[in-house]
Structure 1
Amino acid sequence: MARKKVLIITYYWPPSGGAGVQRWVKFCKYLPDFGIEPIVLTVENPTYPLLDETLTKDVSPELEVYRSKSIEPYSVFGKLTGKSKKEVSTPSTAFSTEGGLIQKAGVWIRANFFIPDARIGWIKNASSKAKQIIENYDIETVITTGPPNSTHISGTKIKEWNPDLKWIMDMRDPWSKIFYNETLPRTALAQNIDEHLEQKALSKADEVIVVSRHMAKLQDKIYRRDYQVLPNGFDHEDFPKVQYKHSNSKFTIKYVGSMTEPAIPHAFFRAISSLGDSEKAKLDLQFFGSYNYQVHHTIEEEYKIKYLVNFNGYIPHKEAKIEMQNADLLLLVIPKSKHNKLILTGKLFDYIGAQKPILYIGPKDGDAAKIIKDYGLGECFDYSEVDTLKIYLRKMMAKKTGTIQTDNENLRDHPYSRYSLTRQLSRIINPEGE
């Protein structure tokens, strides 16, 4: 039987790095196992905040990938804000209003004139190229994934062009209610336009996928309809069945990923700073990712623990997985923001695959906390629980714990493996299939 063809429109694609690209690289990797042939449309001249060439190894040579040009505004933003193209395309640094009047004006322009986001320059060409691919391959199902939410504007236009197409809208994050919008100097008019575009897309899509239960509840308040929950996950093939030995005897705590200002783990840093000198000497704190000025300032000036924290910068995802497996404890922080209960960062699922204890800071009744509690993956703390967090740190340092076993020895069939999640996606794409 011939495989069912599906067109996937995504801005992020290798060599882009970061969590956003991995979701659909992994889905495309496993969809053929379920009788579905993905075809990808991505951008020809992207501005990627992170690069990771190793992800290309997960892209099958048989996968057809098409590209179309975009009008990228980041060099202009860079001149206005005094930042590099990488910095202005990364939320952790792009939306910081630190600096002078020109920098603040640049952020204001981006927030109010580029709606829904700075990738609006790709909408026209993406829509046009998608129509050609649909006609050439007789495609019946199209998937758009965002952010950037400009891809969903393309989806809206394609659906209006051919109402008979099945359009699946994949929302990796909220649209108008995404947490960093709270820090942007947006006018009420700009916010209303953004919400209108979102509601229009939600009204036209045949299926809408979100990544958590709380996100489904949030989206239902924006537009009432059915939402499919399909979280992120981990690829079992990224985690070899070996144990890594530390190069030193210190207790190693690692944080892998970028960090915005709302995600600064004050309780964690306060607990670390209040430990005795002999306890601090036993710690090895390793951070891998992109961090803005405020993160460094908080560690150095507010908590005086700069000498304890090693910033290693962004590393390719395969190396990141090894670093996770080689930790004693993995730090996970949910941003302190409105609607943060719905946040299910991809980092959580990679931490699950690493099978190491997780120190979670965030809403204790959020979706991420529920997974950690349900699977016995670590301990959860609220943003202000400094004393109990310090007790936990001391307990873990004394234990020098090893591997945590998941509930299923075969990681491929774990509920949060990319393989298992692709099976669920295949049923959304083709309900009559498997």
Structure 2
Amino acid sequence: MNAKVESTALNRPVTRQTFDEVLVPTYAPAAMVPVRGAGLDLWDQNGKHYLDFTSGIAVAALGHCNPIVVEALTRQANTLWHLGNGYTNEPVLRLALALTEATFADRAFFCNSGAEANEAALKLARKHAHSKFGAHKSRIISCYQSFHGRTLFTVSVGGQSKYTEGFEPLPPSIDHITYNDIESARAAIGDDVCAVIVEPLQGEGGVVPGDKAFLQELRDLCNKTGALLIFDEVQSGMGRTGELFHYMSYGITPDILTSAKALGNGFPVAAMLTTHELAATLSVGSHGTTYGGNPMAATVALTVLETINQPAFLARVKEAGAKLRATLEKVVADYPQVFSQVRGAGLLLGVVTSDAWKGRSKDIQKAAEANGMMVLIAGMDVVRMAPALIVSDEQIAEADRILRVSLDGLLQAA
């Protein structure tokens, strides 16, 4: 009887309207409901095909249902699922070794999301400063228009007031500077600062690349004041810009790095990476998470890491990124009334709307979707492209075609 009930529940018809009836309304998802994916191809409930240039907000870096990842997950699902943090497991040990060997870091802490990774990084920075310098060194510096997660701590650190309204009082001793503004950084970062957290490439804030001089100044100011430099690479990491992590493009090394999103290709997993010295600040019981580093997540993440962190794979990401940028720059040149510029790095690119089209990125997104292509926005003035890293030249050409058809339709309707 129970089996029959469960089977009925698993197959119960649901629609987009079901979302409005039973889910907390924290999102406003599209009208169509995707049901199946393969690579960069998606199909909705009606069988309509879409070219996915979102990869789940830079998550499915190897594409939907990648056979290599599916095989790894299936194998581990038939071996060992979960133990709890009273025990370790072989997959997480292998993943930690691989990440530390591939980066500046000596130690890894695993959790489930970018917000949790940033929470761990900020807690580590506060605790390190308290133990080494005293409680007065507790201020955290972040950038306006940054995004570091949705916990109360991380959303307060993120520099977008629209996400903190109504959740006051917010955690204290958090200040914001203007991204890429060296003088703003110099004015804010003093001896009472324990951490500076920054995205080397701002994602949600509009796909804005960090200036090397700005990031280097943050590094120098942290060295001078004893603050820790945290690079949030939740969106820019795991091969997205053509390097395993974007800090490698600049030659500027943080004290702590956070990774999530593409690390699991859609399976929830995140990492905070740091040095031996800093990791020693967090003693047994000082921080933790129930699911972090479980065998299934670790197996998937290691498979993703080993696939992406290959010279030929990363070289192809750079090649595809250059191809997509050139394609989008041609679109900007051909539609100057709609777009003004392309910015970003690798396969994380933003097309900025013109003054006449400010506030209309959502309209462009909806038009593209109607024509069979999924794109992102980054604020109301930027159309964001973050296709899977396995995107082909043919798919870039198809994206170009659909985007142009969509723009033509919008212009004709204007």
Which TM-score applies when normalising by structure 2?
Answer: 0.29
Name the TM-score, length of structure 1 as normaliser.
Answer: 0.28
